[in-house]
Amino acid sequence: MSIFENFFRLSVFSLVRDRFLYLLFSLALIALLLIPAFSMFSMRQVQELSVTLCLSALSFLLLVVTVLTGSSSLWRDIEKRYTFSVLGLPVSRAGFVLGKFSAVALLLAVVAAVFGAGSFAAIKVAAGVYPSDIPVAWGVFCAAVAFDVLKYLMLLAILFFLSALSTSFYFPFLAGIAVFIAGSASQEVYEYVQGAYGKGITPAAKAVITGIYYLLPNFAAFDLHPHAIYALPVPPGGALLTFVYWLCYTGVMLSLAVWSFSRRELT
Amino acid sequence: MIGRVVFGILLCSLVAVAVPFSRSVAERPVLVKLGVLPAAEPLKMISGDQRYLLAQCAVVKVLFYYGTLVEKFQQKIALQPEYGNMFGTLQTAVVLDPWNADAYYFTQAAFTWELGKVDEVNRMLEYGMKSRTWDYQLPFFAGFNAAYFKKDYANAARYFQQAARLRPDPLLTNLSSRYFYESGESRLGLAFLDYMQRHATDSKVIRLYQLRKQALLAVMELQQACDRYAARFGHLPEKISDLVAAGLVERVPADPYGGSFYIDDKGKIRSTSKFAFAPQTAWPEKTTPKEMHP
């Protein structure tokens, strides 16, 4: 069995044993039970509100799992001195980092799949009470869930990179949240600067903002929520480009995480 | 032992205080506030993929606030409605989620009849039409506003045509033709209110339309009597009670908004309530998002 596979299996077992996961699934279940009732607050778009609530709850859930597990996975092993004994052996540190990353990625995918299946029932109930003029686009809904998972996998890669740099839990945790907020807003800020507002600022400031825009992860591109809520078509070209962007950005962040962790003094 | 005694005393005290406490909370002075939502642009930037939920929360907040106003009004409790803030909140909601049907529907329901903000409402509906390209209701609302409130029949026909293209409905087709304004504005208004009430799901909004229908029916009854009086006596009645004295109406109907009917110098039936819950407050032109600038 390869080193990667070993670390992956060990990390999965460690995550499954974590009581935090059971708390999370309990909260998700309560949220799913409440969604049809909360959807009735809408006057004219009960079904649309149920989709909104499902996707918002899932996004929040994935954010919590990503930030907490992404910030703590490497730090916890270092803190418990697990890495000192294991990484003293002739094993690859890349296998260690990638194994842990893949285990958390699997957890995110499972959370999304379970919550997505629960959302199907919640939306069916809400849509059954007040049918909408527009049908529920289930294919687009699945695409929105999948793109949410991709978005949080990208954030997870960034958190692993920050964890590989830091000796503290707080740095990747707080920096990860800051990157998430900045990455979610960067597209809006960029468009704002490119528009009429941009004429009033200096070219140097504009160049700095543009540079930061390209450096930060662009999370806005992964937002297919309006498409799923209002059954709007997803442009395939844009979706493919977003996927390629995800592949490259996540790959770069993971490479940096592996490189940084491999150079780290752990003894 | 001491710990158990202290716990017992605290528990008994909590039970004893629960009823007077909840009573005092329920009897607090009436203070209903909508609160302030930050400007649309920064909110859109920081809310990420939660902006659609935020938009819906803003709409629900306005709806709850308005529902409370209607309840207080029916209990004869005078409050100064924050109409400007309500409209600003709904504008922010549609910038966050330009597809949100509730925001457009409620704007149409609350800001045209009572406040006469027809231009602002139609600007918001125009903004919504760019996103809700399949929805016939937005051009239908805009067409009604143009015809009924603005007497702008050319624009109304254009909107109704747009609505009829999206939903081939005999009503919309008729409205888009020249016939629609020959049928008389009061009947048009009543037909519109009937349509809106039939398609409403929220009890507060249904009640609101019921009030307006009652007011419109009362005005129609009095206006017809006034016209008959003028035809019979060759001059306008001086006061509403003249219509009862002449036997044209059995009694003066009540204004559901709490005002008193009177006849203006052009012979039109008006009410001291202006068919609104309270006088209009300042309008937040400065907070209008740039997307909805005229």
Chain A touched by B271 (CB under 8 Å):
no
The token duo for B257 is 């908004």
Asked if the model's pLDDT at residue A150 lies above 90, the reply is yes
The token duo for A27 is 């909260």
Chain A residue closest in CA terms to B206? A43
Q: Mean of the pLDDT values across residues A139-151? A: 97
Asked if the model's pLDDT at residue A225 lies above 50, the reply is yes
> What pLDDT score was predicted for residue B282?
53
Residues of chain B scoring pLDDT < 70: 28-32, 168-188, 276-294
Which residue is associated with the tokens 């591109």?
A: A221
Strands (E), chain B: 261-263, 269-271
* CA–CA dist B99, A229 (Å, integer): 9
> What pLDDT score was predicted for residue B181?
43
Which of B132, B130, B44, B103 lies closest to A230, judged by CA? B132
Q: Pick from A45, A189, A226: which is nearest to B101 by CB? A: A45
**In whole angstroms, how far apart are CA B18 and each of B5, B77, B90?**
20, 28, 38
* CA–CA dist B170, B190 (Å, integer): 17
* CA–CA dist B101, B131 (Å, integer): 10
The token duo for B125 is 């509906």
**In whole angstroms, how far apart are CA B60 and each of A90, A168, B92?**
60, 42, 13
Chain A residue closest in CA terms to B51? A56
List, in order, residues 6 or more apart from A81 with CB less than 8 Å away. Answer: none
This complex has an ipTM of: 0.83
Q: Which residues of A touch B205 (CB under 8 A)?
A: 43
For A88, phi then psi, to 5°, come to: -70, -25
- Window from A65-74, A158-167, A204-213, B251-260 with minimum mean pLDDT: B251-260
Share of chain A above pLDDT 90, in %: 60
* CA–CA dist B133, A86 (Å, integer): 60
DSSP count for chain A of H helices, then E strands: 10, 0
- B181 burial via Cβ count (<10 Å: 0-12, 13-18, 19+): middle
Chain A residue closest in CA terms to B135? A133
Q: Which residues of B touch A188 (CB under 8 A)?
A: 41, 44-45
Q: Which residues of B touch A185 (CB under 8 A)?
A: 45-46, 48
Chain B residue closest in CA terms to A50? B53
Asked if the model's pLDDT at residue A84 lies above 90, the reply is no
* CA–CA dist B16, B115 (Å, integer): 49
List, in order, residues 6 or more apart from A62 with CB less than 8 Å away. Answer: A108, A111, A112, A148, A149, A152
Residue A197 pLDDT class (50, 70, 90 cuts):
confident
> What pLDDT score was predicted for residue B289?
63
Chain A touched by B133 (CB under 8 Å):
no
> What pLDDT score was predicted for residue B79?
73
Spell out which chain A residues touch chain B, with contact meaning CB-CB distance below 8 angstroms: 41-46, 48-49, 52-53, 55-56, 59-60, 130, 133-134, 148, 180-181, 184-185, 188-189, 192, 219-220, 222-223, 225-226, 229-230
Residue B281 φ/ψ region, left for φ over 0, alpha for ψ in the -120 to 50 degree band, beta for the rest: beta
> What pLDDT score was predicted for residue B235?
87
> What pLDDT score was predicted for residue A12?
79
CB A147 within 8 A of CB A160: no
Q: Do A45 and B46 touch (CB under 8 A)?
A: no
- Half-sphere exposure of residue B170: CA atoms within 13 angstroms, side-chain side: 0
> What pLDDT score was predicted for residue B183?
47
The token duo for A159 is 């958190």
Greater pLDDT, A187 or B68:
A187
CB A142 within 8 A of CB A227: no
